[in-house]
Amino acid sequence: MEVHAYLPRSPWVRFRASRRAMLCLAVLGLELLAVFLLPPLLGLEPNVSDLEAGFWASPSPAHWLGTDGEGRDLLARLLCGGQVSLLIGLSAAAISTALGVPLGLLAGYRRGLWEFWIMRLADIVQSFPSIVLVLCLVALTGPSAGNIVLVLGLLGWTGIARLVYGNTLTVRDQEYIVAVRALGAGRGLILRRNVLPNVISPVWCSIPLRAGRAILSESSLSFLGVGIRTPQASWGSLIQAAADLTVLTGRPWAWLPPALCIVLTVFCLAGIGDGLRDALDTRSRRLPA
């Protein structure tokens, strides 16, 4: 007979039990360390041209990843571009969460006009093709890392709000909430102490995925030429070089490393999200006895 037991101890212990999630976390941690520590340690200059090495120089001991079309070191630009891409991804996810969670809670718990206006607003935002909307807003506000973070963050709240709204609808009529309400607890206290802890688990899981999606969105914007401002680099702006047929076919060192970094980062963030889901959702996660 197969015996199952509910996972014991804290979510962190349960997270550690997932090898894939831990591997993803380690790789992402290494990537963050490399991106933020290596440029100052190695004295890398992402915006200085080495005219002696030449334009589009292939990889060499002086330039491990070669140079770009302006003679700039591609390793330096890859690492510094990673700072920008990761900051944009994580900041946009944070803004989306900070907006989406309270709005979803309010819509689900208060219902009535709150529910109507918040969810209709979410419908309107979601009904536009996201890339077109982001393109228009970035074009209007001007291409800069700050504006991209704001636009991606402000437009990304709807998914999280829907997630929280759905779970809040389930939780708000549970007996323990009715009991707390009957005892005279205030609305804010109930939302903070009783509802939020019971609806937040899926949000933690979705944050890494949203960060990954924001990194991809920034890459798309940079590829389309409305990303960050020249001469700043991001992984997306580095891949933009591949729009040229000659670079795409003859200079893979210029676009392959940033493309691999994006794939690796998004893969790691997805793995961490899966690990968080398993660690936080005690109902579905069991260990063999």
Partner 1 sequence: MKKLTVLLLCLVLALPLAACAPSRDATAVVRYGLSNAWDTLMPYNSPSGSNYTRIVCDKLYDRLAYVHADGTLDPRNAAAWESADGGMAVLFFLDEGAAFHDGTPVTAQHWADTIALMTDPDCPALGRSVFNVLAGTDEAGAALPGEALGAEAVDTYTLKLTFKTPTTPEDFLLDRNREFYVLPTHLLEGTDPAEVLELPLWQAPVGSGPLTFVEEIPGSQLTLAANPNYQLGRPGFDLLVITVMDKSNLLPSLIAGDLDYYAFGGNLAADDRQTAEAGGITVLEGTVPNSFYELMLNNERISSSAVRRAIDLALDKQALCLHTAQGLGEPTATDLTPGTAYTSSLTWSRDVEGAMALLEEGGYDGRTYSLACTANRSGLAALMQQQLAQAGITTTIETVDSAALFSGMAEGTYDMAIASHTPGALPLWFTESRFSPGNNIFHVADLTPYTGLISQIKAASDSGARQALVDELQALLARERPFLPLWFGRTLHAQSPTVDNIDYPSSSFSNENVWEWTLQAG
Report the interface residues with partner 1, using CB under 8 A.
Answer: 47-49, 51, 55, 68-72, 143, 225, 229-231, 244-247, 249-250
**Residue with smaller CB distance to partner 1, 186 or 231:** 231
The Cα–Cα gap between 71 and 62 comes to: 12
**Residue with smaller CB distance to partner 1, 94 or 137:** 137
Direct distance between the N- and C-terminal alpha carbons of the chain, in angstroms, rounded to an integer: 11
Least Å distance, CB 69 to partner 1, is: 5
The Cα–Cα gap between 262 and 75 comes to: 15
Strands (E), 110-228: none
Least Å distance, CB 118 to partner 1, is: 37
Least Å distance, CB 231 to partner 1, is: 4
**Residue with smaller CB distance to partner 1, 56 or 165:** 56
Phi and psi of 6, rounded to 5°? -65, 145
**Residue with smaller CB distance to partner 1, 113 or 245:** 245
Helix axis angle for 74-110 and 157-171, nearest 10°, is 30
Least Å distance, CB 241 to partner 1, is: 9
Could you tell me which residues come within 8 angstroms of residue 173 by beta carbon, excluding any fewer than 6 positions away? none
**Residue with smaller CB distance to partner 1, 108 or 258:** 258
Least Å distance, CB 230 to partner 1, is: 4
**Residue with smaller CB distance to partner 1, 33 or 136:** 136
Least Å distance, CB 5 to partner 1, is: 60
Structure tokens at 246: 């000659």
Could you tell me which residues come within 8 angstroms of residue 278 by beta carbon, excluding any fewer than 6 positions away? 14, 15, 18, 21, 284, 285
Structure tokens at 17: 């039990």
